[in-house]
Amino acid sequence: MEGLPSYLLWLPVLVITASLIEAVWMHLRAPGSYDWRAFGVSLLDLVVRNLQRILLPGLVVSPIGEWLWEHRLMTVPLTGVWAFALLFVGQEFCYYWYHRAAHRVRLMWCTHAVHHSPNQLTLAAAYRLGWTAFFSGAIYFFLPLIALGFSPSVVVACLFANLLYQFWLHATWIPKLGPLEYVFNTPSAHRVHHAANLDYLDANYGGVLIVFDRLFGTYRQERAELPCRYGWVQPMNSHNPIKVELHQWVSLFKDLGEAKSTREFLGLLFKPPGWRADGQGQTTEELQARAVGSLKTERAV
């Protein structure tokens, strides 16, 4: 199987340059407002991940992908509009469910949380994606495309194109884009996705499109009266890259070590972040339910 296409290795230069321009512009506009240390953490994350891809190309697509390609249902040549349309929509569908699982399965969240760790949303946050994706099984969500008949290199390239599109979404200075908000993932929609406000949690998982969020009930609109607060629900205030990258893993292994049953052990791995066997956890649903209960109590008083 081919590794990561060589031309894609030039993309980091482009995104670093764009994010650096944004950083300088924000700093000049409001000195002291830009988090340069967070920029450094994101830059190191990007460098390490690209070294992984160069030195360990087998991490990009697993041996299961090799097997599926050898036993594919058909071969889909990209020679017509319909083939490209099928690849695009299929990849968007797979990406939606991968991204939703990355927020709702704790084992996957341990890696994806790194992307949500910055407390300031900037273009540099777009390429802070975590060093441990190969432990989280992200690529497995895209294997159906290989089984259908799209080559592994095409699937990988399409996924990277999707992530490249999302780069510009990590901006707070781009306004809502009118009718485009109904179909495409936009900076406004993605600001909601990165927000830690209870009303915004676990929403807007789309890559290029937002239609699957609307279809499956996970779309939330950015509201002027509720400014987004970025980062984790319990903010990560450290700029130590090792702590940023491994904090969620350390927490998971600690909880697994204290598990009292197989059910609890598996629940800690595969249920949403914050889940507890006694029902007193901090999942999105539990936090939102408590907030509603507190509001009702206040109104009653």
> Residue 55 — very low, low, confident or very high, per pLDDT cuts 50/70/90?
confident
The answer to whether the beta carbons of residues 203 and 219 sit under 8 Å apart is yes
Does residue 1 lie in a domain region? no
Q: How many residues does the chain have?
A: 301
* pLDDT at residue 1, as a whole number: 39
* pLDDT at residue 135, as a whole number: 78
Q: Where among 199, 216, 233 does a domain terminate?
A: 216
Most trustworthy range by pLDDT among 27-31, 73-77, 135-139:
27-31
Q: What would the pLDDT profile of 255-268 be if each residue is shown by its tens digit?
A: 999 999 999 999 99
Q: What would the pLDDT profile of 104-113 be if each residue is shown by its tens digit?
A: 999 999 999 9
Give the Cβ contact number of residue 47 at 10 Å. 13
* pLDDT at residue 137, as a whole number: 77
Q: What would the pLDDT profile of 156-189 be if each residue is shown by its tens digit?
A: 889 989 999 999 999 999 999 999 999 999 999 9
Residue with the two structure tokens 């190191």? 44
Predicted TM-score of the model (pTM): 0.92
52 and 184 in a common domain: yes
Phi, psi of 209 (to 5 degrees): -100, 155
35 vs 57: CA distance, rounded Å: 32
Which pairs count as long-range contacts for 282-288, CB under 8 Å and 24+ apart, including other chains?
282/233, 284/198, 284/201, 284/202, 287/198, 287/201, 287/233, 288/198, 288/199, 288/201
Q: What would the pLDDT profile of 198-232 be if each residue is shown by its tens digit?
A: 999 999 999 999 999 999 999 999 999 999 999 99
50 and 198 in a common domain: yes
28 and 93 in a common domain: yes
The four Cα atoms 215, 138, 1, 145 give a dihedral, to 10 degrees, of -20
286 and 164 in a common domain: no
Does residue 189 lie in a domain region? yes
